[in-house]
Chain A
């Protein structure tokens, strides 16, 4: 594999520059257009009515009352909803989720859509939905991890094995000097992107144009094509900006499809935006877990065995099992490791990928259990982790493609001042008398590669275009991918026309798994390399060019010119090459995907170390995370400004996981009782006084041609556990259930 990083370090690069966001001006002036900001001529407003029961069927809707409200145009129910070309319960891949699309009167979870009211104004549609006053036949809901006897799923997450093991865990535990068995619980959490799921749908005959936020444009297009029996070419999805996704906009959700159906029913453009409480049901969530870990260590504190079992819940009608045990497959060295999952089916909406699915929940439990074992061994938590440092991936035994975790530990600990940690819990105080605790956790997220395509072009005026249907949900695709594109084509950013965010562009795969920049970036790189190869071919075979005879490998591109590698004084502008050849442009397609041989040979993960300081009021239990320091090694950094922001955001999600997020479900009704942003807490600004992120240098020649690992999700992992461990260190109270709330610390 060519060493691209070296090439660009030598020849100058957009990659690596802390550029501000190219979409920044639009976003700070209100000019960035999100789905619900579209207002086509003749637009009608649609509002969803949702079920208040979790199981049963709808027996009556007062359609007449809704229709009698001035401005209401139509009420879409099971009786008149357009029939679909495909059963919405059909499922041919793990990213395809079963949808409730008014094809029957069945209710499978609370907040399931049961009707849509379409009106001339939003006010009329909203009140029309209220007036439907549904009546139900209610069956008692089955809610919670004890709802039924657990089953053993074969796969968890998106196709991971539910069970993976190496060695004999029972023997390892039997031989151990010390053992710890401990159980951690995490609640259901809801993505709650600030932008509710929204869609503006317009039909023009058999053509369909939709504005809707999507983390997977091509997949969404195929889903719509299947459901409506359309040629995918007749569908255009526009998603230039997502108001946050976090996994909930990866697969098209039911309410988005309902917007398309409503537009079809009334024959006019329709806007449908979910109300905040409706975000708690039909658009996915992170499922609750109960995780039991058993650890054994020998006299030196080296693990002899690690067993990680997760009990989780999926919906009654679909399969998504939170792969929380998986993190123990990657992180700590032990001769015997077992990771298992079991699940129950409950009457909720189907759980879904939510920022660091599996890893986030699993990390809280694993890092807590490791902290418990470190203490049992009398070892500093950092020292314990270093003694159990995995030199190869614990279960697979493969070497790591790169792993700068030791440097993360060292740099993070130094910056944080970990050496000032008192050994005994409840022995540090600040000057005001508050309890202070230090805790740490190891962060890890797999360095995945999806599949993506891109198109690149250089024109005779020296400008270039890179186009692909990529997704910017805040991670910065408009900026980071453009930086990769400019470098790939050897032009300055201001000479680049970067097109993205619509489904008519080459398929950029999905923005998920922290793999979008790596995958789409690789596709861009490959397309750009093909363009340059063609350009070089033209120049080096043309006697009139100063590059004549240099051969393809003998030039590189920079600043819109090809330059002879062996004589940098000889170069020629792209425009000259193309004009002389009488070519208006040269373009090429490129692809990004995992290299199977590298993946077979190496384990690939980003790593990090997170150190947390908390203060706890000794009398009142009130907790504040006063300081977080995270050091992360994630291969090549495309834009350090944006990467830092990703780490901050992930670490704040860690704060949220540890101290705040908790969907409170009343088991009697199956309803989330805090389905709003006032009571479903996420951190506010005052919860986050100080965060530092250290970008630890790491060079990875195997992970992909650009050497990029993902940065979007790793920040949560490690952080939530570090905070929980810090709370223990501050108070001497080990809370094994998140969120850690003040009532648990009153002692």
Chain B
């Protein structure tokens, strides 16, 4: 049996024929759509390396069945920058050295984008640390990650202020 889905992936509407309902969103992205930026660190929702935005909210792509997400909008790390122009979170991660090996980084960045959109952490470092605790970094880049999220949050809220 083939399942016909429509997903908007990084702004592009895609018709997907899925021959197997077991395919997770993460495996769909990585193995079938060629979007390998999202990483599989545990496949059980325990590390956050697969974090993507689904309908604007950060979730673990490894614990979602693709077939169930028919009609959803997916944003992955590949869809965050505009060409060479990095999203403020991406730029801040480089500036604050918020990564080492880089494997957890796509998940960290998507999680940070989600966190800032949620708007509950603000500029409180303790709330940012708590809000980013669903993303393990085995290299131990947490200091830079927190600094990067703080800076990106400040930049984005300043931009929002200007826009308003």
Residues of A within 8 A of B125 (CB): 689
Interface size bracket, B side: 35 or more
Q: Which of B97, B133, B143 contacts A684 (CB 8 A)?
A: B133
Is A195 at the interface (CB under 8 A from chain B)?
yes
| Cβ contact within 8 Å between A476 and B100 | yes
CA distance A650 to B144 in the complex (A): 14
- Picked from B46, B78, B106, the residue with its CB within 8 Å of the CB of A677 is B46
**B2: shortest Cβ distance to chain A, in Å?**
13
**Cα–Cα distance between A648 and B143 once the two chains are bound (Å):** 7
With the chains together, A653 CA to B140 CA distance in Å?
7
With A195-B41, A649-B140 as given contacts, are A28 and B109 in contact (CB-CB < 8 Å)?
Answer: yes
B102 touches A122 (CB 8 A): no
Task: Point out the residue from A33, A472, A682 that lies within 8 Å of B136, measured CB to CB.
Answer: A682
Known: A194-B39, A686-B133, A689-B129. A123 touches B77 (CB 8 A): no
A730 CB within 8 Å of chain B: no
Contacts of B39 in A (CB 8 A): 34, 194-195, 243
Contacts of A684 in B (CB 8 A): 133-134, 136
Q: Give the chain B neighbours of A31 by CB distance below 8 A.
A: 37, 78
Contact among A20, A32, A39, A273 with B102 in the assembled complex (CB-CB below 8 Å) = A32
> At the interface, yes or no: A688 with Cβ under 8 Å from chain B?
yes
Q: Are A649 and B139 in contact (CB under 8 A)?
A: yes
Residues in chain B near residue A686, CB distance under 8 A: 126, 129-130, 133
Residues from 120 to 164 in B contacting A, C-beta threshold 8 Å: 125-126, 128-130, 132-146
B31 touches A650 (CB 8 A): no
Does any Cβ of A come within 8 Å of B4's Cβ? no
Given A645-B141, A648-B140, A677-B47, check contact A475 B100 (CB 8 Å): yes
B20 at the interface (CB under 8 A from A): yes
For the complex, what is the distance from the CA of A467 to the CA of B34, rounded to whole Å? 30
B94 on the A face (CB < 8 A): yes
* A-B CB pair tally, cutoff 8 Å: 184
- Tell which of B102, B104, B142 has the most Cβ of chain A within 10 Å: B102
Contact in complex: B143, A688 (CB < 8 Å): yes
Docked Cα-Cα span, A66 to B70, in Å, equals: 30
Instruction: Name the interface residues of A5-31: CB closer than 8 Å to any CB of B.
Output: 20-21, 23-31
Contact A27 B31 (CB under 8 A): no
Known: A30-B37, A30-B77. A121 touches B135 (CB 8 A): no
Given contacts A29-B78, A123-B22, A193-B101, contact A691 B43 (CB under 8 A): no
Does B16 reach chain A (CB closer than 8 Å)?
A: no
A122 touches B27 (CB 8 A): yes
Interface residues as binary, A117-130 with B (CB distance below 8 Å gives 1, 0 otherwise): 00001111001000
Give the CA-CA distance A684 to B134 in the complex, in Å. Answer: 7
Chain A residues with CB below 8 A from B77, complex form:
28-30
B81 lies within 8 A of chain A by Cβ: yes
Chain B residues with CB under 8 Å of A642's CB are 97
Chain B residue contacts of A683, Cβ below 8 A: 140, 142
A55-86 CB contact bits vs B (8 Å, 1 = yes)? Answer: 00000000000000000000000000000000
In the complex, which of the residues B22, B101, B142 contacts A244, with contact meaning CB atoms closer than 8 Å?
B101
> Which residues of the partner chain A approach B138 to less than 8 Å between Cβ atoms?
192-194, 244, 246, 682
Contact flags A34-57 to B (C-beta < 8 A → 1, else 0): 101101000001000000000000
Contacts of B104 in A (CB 8 A): 194, 243
Whether the Cβ atoms of A645 and B97 lie closer than 8 Å is yes
Q: Within the assembled complex, what's the spacing in Å between the Cα atoms of A142 and B135?
A: 36
Given the known interface contacts A29-B86, A685-B132, A688-B143, the answer about A644 and B105 at a Cβ–Cβ threshold of 8 Å is no
Return B152 CB to nearest CB of chain A, in Å. 11
Contact with A along B109-125 (1 / 0, CB 8 A): 10000000000000001
Cβ-closest chain A residue relative to B97: A645
Alpha-carbon separation in the docked complex, A124 to B44 (Å): 18
Chain B residues lying within 8 Å of A241, measured Cβ to Cβ, are 101-103
Most buried by A among B22, B97, B125: B97
Closest to A246 in B: B138
A651 within 8 A of B: yes
Which residue on B lies nearest to A31, using beta carbons? Answer: B37
- B140 touching A651 by the CB < 8 A rule? yes
Across the interface, which residues of A come within 8 angstroms of B49, CB to CB?
A: 194
**B46 interface neighbour in A28, A242, A676, Cβ under 8 Å:** A676
**Are the C-beta atoms of A123 and B23 separated by less than 8 Å?**
yes
Secondary structure class of chain B's binding surface, majority of residues = loop
Min distance, Cβ A455 to any Cβ of chain B, angstroms: 26
Q: Which of B87-110 contact A (CB under 8 A)?
A: 90-91, 93-95, 97, 99-106, 109
> Given known contacts A39-B31, A685-B132, is B102 in contact with A652 (CB within 8 Å)?
no
- Tell which of B90, B101, B137 touches A29, judged by Cβ atoms closer than 8 Å: B90
Q: Is the CB of A25 within 8 A of B42?
A: no
Q: Which B residue's beta carbon lies closest to that of A32?
A: B102
Task: Report the interface size for chain A: residues with CB under 8 A from the other chain.
Answer: 64
Residues of A close to B37: CB separation below 8 A: 29-31
Min CB gap A57→B, angstroms: 29
Judge whether B44 and A194 touch: CB under 8 Å.
no
Q: State the CA gap A633–B119 with chains docked (Å).
A: 41
List B contacts of A196 (CB < 8 A).
40-41
Which residues on the B side are within 8 Å of A685 (C-beta)?
128-130, 132-133, 135, 137, 142, 145-146
Q: Which residue of B lies closest to A646 (CB)?
A: B100
Chain B residue at minimal CB-CB distance from A684: B133
Q: Say yes or no: is B72 at the interface (Cβ < 8 Å to chain A).
A: no
Point out the residue from A37, A192, A689 that lies within 8 Å of B126, measured CB to CB.
A689
A184→B77 CA distance, assembly (Å): 45
CB-CB under 8 A from B90, the residues of chain A are 28-29
Contact B78 A122 (CB under 8 A): no
Is B27 a contact partner of A678 (Cβ separation < 8 A)?
no
1/0 per residue, CB under 8 A from B, across A678-702: the answer is: 1000111110110100000000000
Task: Determine whether the beta carbon of A28 is less than 8 Å from that of B103.
Answer: no
* Cα-based distance from A683 to B47 in the complex (angstroms): 11
In the complex, whether A276 has a CB less than 8 A from a CB of chain B is yes
Residues of A with C-beta under 8 A to B6: none
Nearest-neighbour CB distance to chain B for A387, whole angstroms, equals 33
Bound Cα distance A23, B99 (Å): 11
Give every chain B residue within 8 A of A123 (Cβ-Cβ).
20, 22-23, 27
A646-B144 Cα distance, complex, nearest whole Å? 11
How many angstroms from the CA of A685 to the CA of B90 in the assembled complex?
A: 18
Whether B133 pairs with A24 at a CB distance below 8 angstroms is: no
Chain A residues, CB < 8 A from B105: 27-28
Docked Cα-Cα span, A747 to B110, in Å, equals 43
Task: Tell whether, in the assembled complex, residue A28 and residue B86 are in contact, meaning their CB atoms are under 8 Å apart.
Answer: yes
Determine if A121 and B20 form an interchain contact, defined as CB atoms under 8 angstroms apart: yes
Q: Interface code A238-268, partner B: CB below 8 Å = 1, 0 otherwise?
A: 0001111110000000000000000000000
B36 within 8 A of A: yes
CB <8 Å contact, A20 and B31:
no
B5 interface residue (CB < 8 Å to A): no
A285 to chain B, nearest CB (A): 14
CB pair B20–A30 under 8 Å, yes or no, is: no
A493 CB, min distance to chain B CBs, angstroms: 16
Chain A neighbourhood of B23, CB < 8 A: 121, 123
Query: Are A242 and B101 interface neighbours, CB within 8 A?
Result: yes
A683 to B34 CA separation, bound complex (whole angstroms) = 32
A71 to B91, CA, bound (A): 43
Contact B145 A36 (CB under 8 A): no
**Closest beta carbon of chain B to A655's beta carbon, Å:** 8
A275 / chain B contacts, CB cutoff of 8 Å: 43
- The CA-CA distance from A641 to B97 in the complex, in Å, is 7
* Chain B neighbourhood of A650, CB < 8 A: 140
The 6 closest A-B pairs by CB, nearest first: A30-B37, A243-B103, A474-B100, A474-B101, A652-B140, A649-B140
Would you list 5 pairs from A and B whose C-beta atoms are within 8 A, ordered by A residue? A27-B99, A241-B103, A243-B104, A474-B100, A641-B97
Supply 7 further A-B pairs (C-beta < 8 A) apart from A37-B30, A276-B41: A28-B94, A29-B81, A30-B36, A45-B31, A124-B20, A194-B103, A688-B129
A: residues with CB less than 8 A from B are 20-21, 23-34, 36-37, 39, 45, 121-124, 127, 192-196, 241-246, 273, 275-276, 472-476, 641-642, 644-646, 648-653, 676-678, 682-686, 688-689, 691
